[in-house]
């Protein structure tokens, strides 16, 4: 059968490679990709390298196995509702909102930004307008900081540089040294705070979500108008609930204790 007039062979092959990855088989070596697709090895290597360069694939530096990158999640924000991660998290976010009366969110990281992929909005007004697909800087958000805690100093430097970073509000962290100190605190206490670092009048508390194998895949938070709750109350009353909910979602994704 002849191929359609506008068939682009390289694009079709690249998409065929991406289609290999499933929940049952989430990672492949180059040899496995060649064997499964039956593409020429040098052609496959160039395609896989291009997909990695563009962020659609990630390669584990130790095992050299490839897995889908976060760019796959960006192929269309209209598909966000169908993401398995968002579907699993949504009932937990609703339960957290019901228990606290506050807006709850989930985000993933894409480079130096976070992307909102799920929300449960209460009627209480917060001081920033957000929606699924919204992007915010990673350095001045509680979910962003939660998503950074597993990165090494070199990885943080490669991602953000030494600084100064954009100052969004009075308490924004603007230097790598200060951010590293903050991330160490988050690792020890298990949650991240945003105390008017993004905008004046907004506080939030977040915790990371880990998937199978322990890798951080997302983060959740509670956003609260600052005048209604102090930092101390946020830590004492809401942080434990956020951490508990984050663990429930992580457990549902197959993370081990």
Q: Assess whether pLDDT exceeds 50 at residue 130.
A: yes
State the pLDDT at residue 181: 96
Instruction: Give residues with Cβ within 8 angstroms of 17, minimum separation 6.
Output: 33, 37, 44, 47, 48, 51
pLDDT in tens, 202-220: 899 999 999 878 889 999 9
pLDDT at res. 78: 39
- Between the ranges 11-25, 52-66, 137-151, where is the mean pLDDT highest? 137-151
Q: Where are the domains of the chain?
A: 9-73, 76-252
Residue 75 reports pLDDT greater than 90: no
Q: Identify the pLDDT of residue 3.
A: 58
Predicted confidence (pLDDT) per residue in 79-115, tens digit: 444 457 888 898 999 999 999 999 999 999 989 999 9
Which CATH architecture is the domain 76-252 placed in? Answer: 2-Layer Sandwich (3.30)
What is the 3 state secondary structure string of 164-204?
Answer: CCCCCCCCCCCCHHHHHHHHHHHHHHCCEEEECCCCCCEEE
At 6 the pLDDT is: 61
For 164-189, what is each residue's pLDDT tens digit? 999 999 999 999 999 999 999 999 99
9-73 in CATH: which number? 1.10.10.10
Supply the pLDDT for residue 225. Answer: 86
Pairing assessment for the beta strands 192-195 and 135-137 based on DSSP bridges: unpaired
């Amino acid at each position: 059968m002849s191929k359609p007039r506008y068939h682009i062979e390289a694009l079709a092959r690249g998409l065929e490679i991406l289609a290999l990855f499933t929940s049952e088989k989430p990672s492949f070596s180059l040899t496995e990709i060649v064997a499964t697709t039956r593409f020429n090895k040098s052609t496959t290597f160039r395609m896989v390298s291009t997909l990695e360069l563009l962020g659609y694939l990630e390669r584990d530096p130790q095992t050299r196995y490839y897995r889908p990158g976060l760019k796959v999640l960006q192929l269309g924000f209209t598909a966000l509702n169908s993401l398995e991660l968002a579907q699993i998290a949504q009932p937990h976010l609703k339960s957290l909102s019901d228990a606290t009366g506050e807006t709850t969110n989930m985000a993933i990281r894409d480079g130096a930004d976070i992307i909102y992929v799920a929300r449960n909005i209460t009627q209480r007004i917060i001081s920033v307008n957000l929606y699924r697909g919204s992007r915010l800087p990673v350095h001045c958000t509680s979910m962003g900081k939660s998503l950074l805690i597993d990165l090494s100093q070199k990885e943080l430097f490669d991602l953000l540089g030494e600084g100064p970073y954009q100052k969004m509000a009075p308490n924004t962290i603007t230097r790598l040294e200060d951010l590293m100190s903050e991330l160490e605190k988050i690792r020890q206490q298990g949650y991240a705070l945003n105390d008017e670092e993004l905008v004046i009048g907004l506080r939030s508390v977040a915790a990371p979500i880990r998937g199978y194998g322990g890798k951080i895949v997302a983060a959740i938070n509670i956003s609260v108008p600052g005048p209604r709750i102090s930092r101390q109350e946020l830590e004492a009353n809401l942080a434990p609930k956020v951490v508990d909910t984050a663990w429930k979602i992580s457990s549902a994704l197959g993370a081990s204790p």
